[in-house]
Structure 1
């Protein structure tokens, strides 16, 4: 591959660096494929897919091969090793794909891993093609298509959890083999939880009752319990999910780990809350997504056939998710002006208000009154438009 880096100016330098990164990814991909299949394999027509993480992500076409390779492949190249002692996103992603590639195609909720190499820090994946993402469906103007995509996402998430329940030892063994230090999904949780009461006092003048603190502590303990553990992509943003004819498929496992599936299931109540552009879903959509997820997991976790048990666990996870996001973001919210219906400020009002409702359903001590108080205090500062808007597909 010939790379032209002769352009002058900052734009030329940036473009040249991108071309070099793409060329390096293609070279690494060819190298690992050739070692994997024992014969030279040439890749052409690289397309930079502009990954948002530390990897260079490239789609390339296979010139010719006597092997049963797809016509196009996706290469993820991690050129830079992690800091000493830090979690390695290459190792996390490689092990995540290895875990799924060992499953049957029906259980594999992601592209197939075709080759990987720890020396070149490269993954070669099956290319699912220019498939729309869940984000595309939510921002289009077809409410039925968006509804189908959301239910498919919930089913795929449940199938992902069900197929990897009990496989934590396999995940950890694969991670050790690649030399990646285990990444704890609960790192910093206690410290962040402790920051929320002073933040609420400082920004809203609200004191957290001891009973609410106890419920948060119980929710943290639930998230660390041995039960209901399964693989999690961690990054559950809708732009990381492809809507295929076989259902939603997950991408980007740079933070993949094994943790309580209920941490992921909180997103069924707070759809994609960790995503900066998260908006609201219409009434009944969340409940339908929960039903779709539950249908996939009750075979491995029969306790969730009981409506009360499921609602109690989901509400605890919802409480913890809202609490942690408050710790992360409340300090940076602008509470001095009226909010837009698509703002993060409006999202906070809606999430706290929904938490009050759901905690009331399961009779969670002190939380309904407290959550309603927080929502009201936020709404009083943000004005009459402090309700989160629906995704465009549902407007």
Structure 2
């Protein structure tokens, strides 16, 4: 802690003190610190160089919708950012009691990420140069599993699965947009100035479809994942889509959009199957160690698999091997006997649509 404060003070050019731990992750330490004039800043010290480089490069591309980058120390490495305050997160609102507040938060969330996509349009080379300067040649992108990775995870590996995974993996580069990366509800702060994004540690360019799938699933890789009313889900997806048409107007084609989002749902579901199944087989535990309510690993997996089958049914006969593998996942875990994933607490079971 003393080393972090000393390095932050040196690079900022004024003393920071009285740190408050904001949580961070296994990849970083995040501290709210006081400055000499009584203000506060946020100091983030990294254990992962790729996360450091992505965030330093990504914050200036955020269109003013994230923290301002105040100082950078590549030798530590750490950054000092403006403090966005301590308002409720989107997760707090979704787990709360107001459907109106949750709906408005989701609409603002979708609009914000669409606008960030627009702000980063045409700036990919700028981001890549900056990221490489601070973290070398590692982009920090989440890996996508190959067939060999899934053999220990899936109950069956159907013929043709490898080819279908190759097809799905290609979606990552289609219709790219800039994104902070980790767009889960707890990384979004609802402030007096609107929604502000807290985390650019996984920032970079990936398909708009991968972002849109976060709406439809919802929140592909997050602990704060329950069901949305279909009406609300469609509304927030439409808001994001309209914003991103500024970058990729061809996505106004409904057939193209539906196929792309459907494939992105498959990509995220396969990825999270790879991540969660080994731990879920061992025992069922909550997706978050301290927050409540929260789904369990098994509960979330079974929902993801069921939802993907519904999506694939809309696509006709595409991806039969993926379909067979996912159906086998559901059949082989029937003994888990978990209750169906409910709606977000803010959207009661009687909430229309």
State the match for 2:59 in structure 1: 97
Instruction: State whether structure 2 residue 302 is matched by structure 1 residue 323.
Output: no
CA distance in structure 1 between the aligned counterparts of 2:269 and 2:91, rounded to whole angstroms: 22
State the match for 2:199 in structure 1: 252
**Alignment check: 8 A CA contact 1:341 1:388 kept:** no
CA distance in structure 2 between the aligned counterparts of 1:336 and 1:53, rounded to whole angstroms: 22
- Specify which of 331, 336, 351 is matched with residue 377 of structure 1: 331
Q: Give me the TM-score of the superposition, normalised by structure 1.
A: 0.77
Instruction: State whether structure 2 residue 309 is matched by structure 1 residue 353.
Output: no
**What is the Cα deviation at residue 281 of structure 1?**
1.9
Corresponding residue SS for 2:167 = helix
State the match for 2:75 in structure 1: 119
Q: How many residues align?
A: 340
Q: Pick closer, same or farther for the CA change 1:197–1:265 going to 2, 3 Å.
A: farther
- Specify which of 337, 346, 351 is matched with residue 393 of structure 1: 346
Structure 2 unpaired stretches of 5+: 287-292, 349-353
Q: Pick closer, same or farther for the CA change 1:186–1:128 going to 2, 3 Å.
A: closer
Q: Pick closer, same or farther for the CA change 1:336–1:57 going to 2, 3 Å.
A: closer
Q: Pick closer, same or farther for the CA change 1:26–1:392 going to 2, 3 Å.
A: same
**1:81-160 maps to which residues of 2 (within 5 A)?**
87-100=49-62, 107-160=63-116
Corresponding residue SS for 2:137 = coil
**1:1-395 maps to which residues of 2 (within 5 A)?**
21=1, 23-34=2-13, 41-64=14-37, 71-78=39-46, 87-100=49-62, 107-185=63-141, 187=143, 189-191=144-146, 193-196=147-150, 199-201=153-155, 206=156, 208-210=158-160, 213-223=162-172, 225=173, 227-334=174-281, 342-367=295-320, 370=324, 373-374=327-328, 376-377=330-331, 380-383=334-337, 385-395=338-348
**What is the Cα deviation at residue 110 of structure 1?**
0.7
CA distance in structure 2 between the aligned counterparts of 1:97 and 1:47, rounded to whole angstroms: 22
State the match for 1:18 in structure 2: none
For residues 39-77 of structure 1, the C-alpha deviation after alignment (integer angstroms, 9 at most, x for no partner) is: xx333443232322443322223333xxxxx93211223
CA distance in structure 2 between the aligned counterparts of 1:260 and 1:269, rounded to whole angstroms: 15
For residues 252-305 of structure 1, the C-alpha deviation after alignment (integer angstroms, 9 at most, x for no partner) is: 222323222322322112222312353222222322221111011001101111
| Greater gyration radius | 1
Structure 1 unpaired stretches of 5+: 1-20, 35-40, 65-69, 101-106
**Alignment check: 8 A CA contact 1:165 1:228 kept:** no
Q: Pick closer, same or farther for the CA change 1:372–1:72 going to 2, 3 Å.
A: closer
**Alignment check: 8 A CA contact 1:92 1:180 kept:** no
**What is the Cα deviation at residue 311 of structure 1?**
0.6
Greater relative contact order, per chain length (Cα 8 Å cut-off, separation 6+): 2
Q: Give me the TM-score of the superposition, normalised by structure 2.
A: 0.85
For residues 79-133 of structure 1, the C-alpha deviation after alignment (integer angstroms, 9 at most, x for no partner) is: x5x5xxxx43222222222333xxxxxx322111122221342211111111111
**Alignment check: 8 A CA contact 1:172 1:182 kept:** no
Q: Pick closer, same or farther for the CA change 1:364–1:302 going to 2, 3 Å.
A: farther
Corresponding residue SS for 1:314 = helix
Moved over 4 A (4+): 366-369
Q: Pick closer, same or farther for the CA change 1:283–1:372 going to 2, 3 Å.
A: farther
**What is the Cα deviation at residue 318 of structure 1?**
0.6
**What is the Cα deviation at residue 330 of structure 1?**
2.0
Query: RMSD across aligned C-alpha pairs, in angstroms?
Result: 2.9
**What is the Cα deviation at residue 207 of structure 1?**
5.1
